[in-house]
Amino acid sequence: MNHISAIHHITAITPSATENLAFYENVLGLRLVKQTVNFDDPYTYHLYYGDARGTPGTILTFFPWENLPQGRPGAGMVTAIAFAAPLRAMDFWNRRLRRLACDLQSGERFGDPVLRFTDPHGLPLELIGQSEPAATAHWHAGPIAAEHAIAGFHSATATLHHLTESKTLFSSLLGMTLLKQSDNRYRFASADTRAPGHFWDVVIDPQAPPGQQGGGTVHHIAFRTASDDDQLWWQSRLRTVGLGVTEVRDRKYFRSIYFNAPQRLLLEIATDGPGFGVDEEEAILGTRLRLPESYERMRPDIERRLPPLRPTSPSPIDTCRPIASTEALSSA
């Protein structure tokens, strides 16, 4: 049987591309590894952040829909995104995020220290201290020294109403192991325990209101598969048990299939390759707008309509937008 090896990427929604870049690049020190457009909506950006190369398990992507109303994290959604950081860097991050992030709280989860905060648009984030974080490619030109830098994802948390169906999906079908439980939090681990993002938490809260997509919420999460053949195996396997799975979609940097888990949690299985080096050298990743061939003829129009990512006189981000309460934030 095949196993899911870890998280591939997580895609979230933001109401401002400019403010989004300022936070993830300057505050968290993630590298913008690709600026392209939403393949289904070419007049909006699709921004990809990651380690220096955009290694699977480090990739956080955003659909910036300008001025979109705030969403509400809730049941049937990924309600927190957790990055890993070296244990010895947690004091550094505590000081830094106290100044530069929103709603910082500290706690502990399964014995690891956790900092919980949000980005400027209310997206629930976490930083979890690890004695040996997974190996990732440090972005030397970025603002964070290697000894402190984020090392990809630690995990993500989904909030669901019931455990039974999701346990069957994640353990029996996707081959994850149920590792630990504390109160209503269940921690699964995927097969490749050296990969960034190999943990997956499910919080069961029968009372949680359904999530509402909008600014500051997660759109979907993708898990990794090594090859196109493995992806087709997954497509067939998931269809065999009655899940509606899409055709393979070419996302240029990887290929994707999508399906809904219980409570309409949107999941994707994405191939590791070909990766972000397919249309630009590693040294210049993310520095220029990249378009799929089919949109190149529209480039002048697209460039005119997209907001500047790095405006010459940026307006300061001086507000933290209030977030709706989420279970994931209220209990570490």
- What is the binding site for Zn ion (CB under 5 A)? 11, 222, 268
CB of 270 to Zn ion, least distance (A): 6
Q: Is 12 helix (H, G, I), strand (E, B) or coil?
A: strand
> In the structure encoding, which two tokens stand for residue 327, read together?
């279970």
Cβ at position 54, least distance to Zn ion in Å: 13
Tell the smallest beta-carbon distance from residue 104 to Zn ion (Å): 28
Closer Cβ to Zn ion, 138 or 224, answer by number: 224
DSSP 182: E
Minimum CB distance to Zn ion smaller for 126 or for 268:
268
CB of residue 219 vs Zn ion: minimum separation in angstroms? 8
Nearer to Zn ion, 72 or 251 (CB): 251
- Is the preceding omega at residue 274 within 30 degrees of 0, hence cis? yes
**Comparison of 10 and 160: residue with beta carbon closer to Zn ion:** 10
Q: Strand order of the sheet with strand 31-38?
A: 31-38, 41-50, 59-64, 7-14, 217-225, 266-274, 254-260, 249-250
- Nearer to Zn ion among residue 128 and residue 222 (C-beta): 222
Q: From the CB of 221, what's the least distance to Zn ion, in Å? A: 8
Comparison of 11 and 55: residue with beta carbon closer to Zn ion: 11
CB of 61 to Zn ion, least distance (A): 7
Q: Which residues does 101 contact at the CB level (< 8 Å), separation at least 6?
A: 23, 27, 117, 118, 119, 125
Pick from 3, 1, 2, 58: nearest CA to 190: 3
Provide, rounded to whole angstroms, the least separation between the CB of residue 59 and Zn ion.
9
When the beta carbons of 50 and 142 are compared against Zn ion, the nearer one is: 50
Nearest CA to 160 out of 201, 105, 215, 219 is that of 201
CB of 52 to Zn ion, least distance (A): 21
Question: Minimum CB separation from Zn ion for residue 220, in Å?
Answer: 6
Name residue, tokens 């899911």. 4
Q: Do residues 124 and 74 make contact, with C-beta atoms less than 8 angstroms apart?
A: no
Nearest C-alpha neighbor of 263 from the set 157, 160, 158: 160
C-beta of 24 vs 117, nearer to Zn ion: 24
CA distance 87 to 127: 10
CA distances from residue 221 to 73, 158, 169, 217, 218 in whole angstroms, order as listed = 14, 10, 15, 12, 8
CA distance 285 to 192: 27
Residue bearing tokens 């949109």:
295
Rounded distance, CA 30 to CA 7, Å? 17
Nearest to 47 by CA among 17, 27, 23, 77: 17
Nearer to Zn ion, 148 or 252 (CB): 252
